[in-house]
Structure 1
Amino acid sequence: MLEQKLDKISQENQNQVVHINISDVYPNGDQPRIYFDEDKIIALCESIKKHGVLQPIVVRPDDEGRYMIIAGERRYRASIMANKKSIPAIIKDMPIKEVLEIALVENLQRENLNIIEEAKAYKNLIDKHKSTQEELAELVGRSRPYITNTMRLLNLSDEVKKYIELEKISPGHGKALLRVSNKEKQIGLAHKIIKENLSVRKTEEIIKGMLEEKKIKNKSKEKDIFIKDIEERLMNTLGTKVNISTGNKKGKIEIEYYTDDDLNDIIDRLLEE
């Protein structure tokens, strides 16, 4: 497992810790974690001022003599805040795909990722590094359907995804909103969830009602098209305007005529065998 590999790296390299200029270190641009708790960074900064960086970060050398962070971005950020010029590090040369996998597992273990960041990390590994959903499921100890359903949240509107990231609505709300294809309606429902503090179940009931109403409207629309076709065929046959109106239990057909001759002509056409 990757978490065991990361522990092993730290254990095997305790005597290989080096201090590198913090200006030569930079975060991984594909780091799964996007949001960092500022209060926790400040607290870590105060600790580093008093005790230094107790656990070295793990970095990967690049072709320009600089180092990309594999693990330990919080320590890196707090060290910058503490005005440290150097930082203890373990240098490990490994494939970029493995770097991303380790970053993903480390953040998941520490519960540092929100569900949207997690989904983006899965998508990045699949799109850029040809991982499969089965491989990711084994990597993080989840089922393949879990990976699939988590990634589906990326299909939500950007505003709804932001609400999930900020924990204004839950991932469960997000999964319910996936049934609503219209992005504006998704956002409107998200506002309603926040304003009325709706549960996931209540949200699902509202969406179910919306979809059933839409289904009825679509069915009515299809019927209208059918009625218009019949009206047109009758007008061609009778040579005059025909209007068909429908109700819940009954309907009527209106045939226009302007003279007695028109009426007789319509009757003749209707009675033709």
Structure 2
Amino acid sequence: MSKAIKKQALGRGLSALLKDPENDIQSVEDKNADKVVGNIIELEIDAIEINPFQPRSNFNEESLRELATSIKELGVIQPITVRKLDFNKYQLISGERRLRASKLIGLTTVPAYIRIANDNESLVMALVENIQRHDLDPIEIALSYQRLIDEIQLTQEQMSERVGKKRSTIANYLRLLKLDPIIQTGIRDGFISMGHGRAIINIDDHDVQTDIYQKIVSQNLSVRETETLVKNYHESLKPKPAIPAKTASFEINDEDVSTFNKYFGTKIDVKVAGNGKGKITIPFHSEEDFNRIIKLIEG
């Protein structure tokens, strides 16, 4: 008998063990737990519920159909991972694409690794296994990290150790959640990249964020061009340096102005520019006053 046939037969035998109420395994300390936990077992698909902690929320239908075709021809090559909830009830930890694809082609059972885990352990396992095995979009990854922070109370440093990612990498993903929801959706749908998002996040005003997002999409801007756009925006916010007023090239003393005032019988305004040019303003208050000034000028 080949190894593959032996493995399959073992899976069927363990499946029968799990359906025996007298062998309801709830912890690693229970009888026969060593025969079940960590082994590959053929589980009924109807006994498996979706994991609410699953980081992935978007599933490409075309990609699922391709996977379903592959499973139909070759079988489920990589088993899913589940945790035991109750008698003949299981919750998916990782492998939702494989589970969905198996349902598409009408399979009633699927090979699965059995694990005993609490909610917190399940969340961490789902996050680590799914991020490392599948191409989650950046927002899904960011939301998963945020969930670890909120629900497991992990610091970014602790999370770095748990998921095997640099703290700076985790921080960059989390910052994406500060983007306007419209832009987050744009990243999830592939209209812009995470690089575009990291550039836009340097702007606090969500209205300005969305304006730049629209330009990126409509003009097909690169990440570098987006960074330049953001830089120019910040430059526009800086206060313009005050241009110092030019001082007059020479001064008009009060005595000279007083002489003008006495001669014309009115208050004269004298201004001198920095280049030495200037003007004298002689006010008048009536036509009679205007004619009086004309006569004075004509001598």
Q: 1:25 aligns with which of 40, 48, 54?
A: 48
Q: Which has the larger radius of gyration?
A: 2
- What is the total number of aligned residue pairs between the two structures? 209
**Quick check: 1:154 aligned with 2:177?**
yes
Give secondary structure in 2 for the equivalent of 1:89: strand
- Kindly indicate whether structure 1 or structure 2 has the higher relative contact order, using CA contacts under 8 Å at least 6 residues apart: 1
Gaps of 5+ in 2: 1-34, 243-273, 275-299
TM normalised by structure 2 equals 0.63
**Quick check: 1:132 aligned with 2:155?**
yes
Which amino acid in structure 1 is aligned with residue 96 of structure 2? E
Contact 1:56 1:89 (C-alpha < 8 Å) held by counterparts: yes
Give secondary structure in 1 for the equivalent of 2:125: helix
1:254 alignment partner in structure 2: none
2:103 alignment partner in structure 1: 80
Gaps of 5+ in 1: 1-11, 221-248, 250-273
Deviation at 1:14, TM superposition (A): 9.6
Task: Report the Cα distance in structure 2 between the residues aligned to 1:187 and 1:65, rounded to whole angstroms.
Answer: 49
Task: Report the Cα distance in structure 1 between the residues aligned to 2:36 and 2:85, rounded to whole angstroms.
Answer: 19
Task: Report the Cα distance in structure 1 between the residues aligned to 2:232 and 2:224, rounded to whole angstroms.
Answer: 13
2:15 alignment partner in structure 1: none
- For 1:1-273, what aligned pairs fall within 5 Å after superposition? 16-63=39-86, 65-216=88-239
Contact 2:42 2:112 (C-alpha < 8 Å) held by counterparts: yes
Deviation at 1:64, TM superposition (A): 7.1
Task: Report the Cα distance in structure 1 between the residues aligned to 2:115 and 2:140, rounded to whole angstroms.
Answer: 25
Task: Report the Cα distance in structure 2 between the residues aligned to 1:213 and 1:17, rounded to whole angstroms.
Answer: 62
Give secondary structure in 1 for the equivalent of 2:101: helix
Give secondary structure in 1 for the equivalent of 2:191: coil
Tell me which moved more, 135-144 or 24-33: 135-144
Deviation at 1:15, TM superposition (A): 8.9
4+ residue runs over 4 A deviation: 12-15
Percent identity of paired positions between Structure 1 and Structure 2: 39
Task: Report the Cα distance in structure 1 between the residues aligned to 2:109 and 2:44, rounded to whole angstroms.
Answer: 4
RMSD between aligned residues? 2.5
> In the TM superposition, what whole-angstrom CA distance separates every residue of 1:60-110 from its partner, at most 9, and x where no partner exists?
122475211112111100111011122222221112222222222223323
Which amino acid in structure 2 is aligned with residue 197 of structure 1? N
Task: Report the Cα distance in structure 2 between the residues aligned to 1:182 and 1:62, rounded to whole angstroms.
Answer: 46
Contact 1:137 1:144 (C-alpha < 8 Å) held by counterparts: yes
Give secondary structure in 1 for the equivalent of 2:239: helix
